[in-house]
Structure 1
Amino acid sequence: MNERYHDVASHSQSRSEVAPAYKVLRNTYMLLALTLGVSALTAGLAMSMGVAHLNIFVFFIGAYGLMFLVHKLKNSSAGLLAIFAFTGFMGFTLGPVLSSYLTLGNGAQLIMTALAMTAITFVGLSAVVLVTKKDFSFLANFLMAGAIVLVVAMVVAMLFNISGLALAVSAGFVLFASAMILYETSQIIHGGEQNYILATLGLYLAIYNLFVSLLSILGVVSGDD
């Protein structure tokens, strides 16, 4: 009788721990969909306005400044405004990139292919975590080191116009973004990330980097980049 009571109590405790995690997951996916929609709108706006590519340093200041703001306001309703400002900014900076691809003969096809590959990768990797319940927290150190290396390599490739390094950086970002999706989703379902604004930020960055990197690789492979 005591063993049965213990099993029921353990089961109830397990359910009480899982419920908040899936609430965070649900809220994260809802906010992620909205932020991706905002990015699409601002990207379309930038394209219609014929906005030129931003200076790399202006981009970094804007992106990292807004990310800092999101972290600062993560526990308030203002955090929602901050993340929409960030994703809107990122979409706006993506507009000129998409415009340059659309000038190519197969540019629209490249963009749609990159979008499809990004969506399939995100859904597939998320499903792996949600189905297996595997803990990918061990990727934390890899992601921290990888982010530093990739940002430095990206800046060097842009400043010195090294095409081979740029392609390697794109491939690196594909791996980095894939690992980020595994890590962030795992953090949510295992209770490591309980703030859905920060969870959305992490997954958004993974999707953004995955799409841009795949688009760059496809452009090089097709011979049009």
Structure 2
Amino acid sequence: MKRELLTLYLVMGSQNCHRDPRHVLREAIEGGITLFQFREKGTGCLVDSEKQTLARDLLSICREHQIPFIVNDDIELALEIGADGVHIGQEDEPLDLVREKIGKKLLGVSAHNVVEAFAAMAGGADYLGVGPIYATTTKTDIREVKGPEVIEEIRKAGLTIPIVGIGGITAERVEDVRKAGADGVAVISAISQAVSPRYSTGKILMEVKKS
């Protein structure tokens, strides 16, 4: 995959928004996001037909603006709606099985250390989501906060796979994450809950491009 796709990666579901996620996504696209992940998980999330309807609406918005659309965890949904790829965690389906199901679609894998990073790359991941870099309240099943150093460790181990840092990243923290070796940053609440998602996106994007 092109590393530039990871420059500013928005991860979001309805449970992360104070407003209609369709409006939030449109504003974030106007602000300059380069990739979008639909992550409908956690307290208050949509299920079944409501989840699918929202997924299709958000996919349509991404298609309209040529933004790749990734689905978190739900491989069946991703295949059903024709998403561009999936992102899985360490506790999800085995990597080889997911790759077999999705074919040449993009495959992102969450990694928290060098061992997991090597395993993901060997298993055919296109990119790694590494974190949590900083403390975050978005995910309730959060692992130990690692700091940007974990990205540095993965790079020093010789892994050249594209990496996006995730977890509590704000505009002020972008430089440290990029200096550690990340190709870009993944953001949830700093955009999805911003008063102006477009402004917040633009501010973060400016920091990524400067670093």
**TM-score (normalised: structure 2):** 0.25
Larger Rg: 1
**TM-score (normalised: structure 1):** 0.24
- Which protein, 1 or 2, shows the higher relative CO under an 8 Å CA cutoff with sep ≥ 6? 1
Structure richer in helix, relative to its length: 1
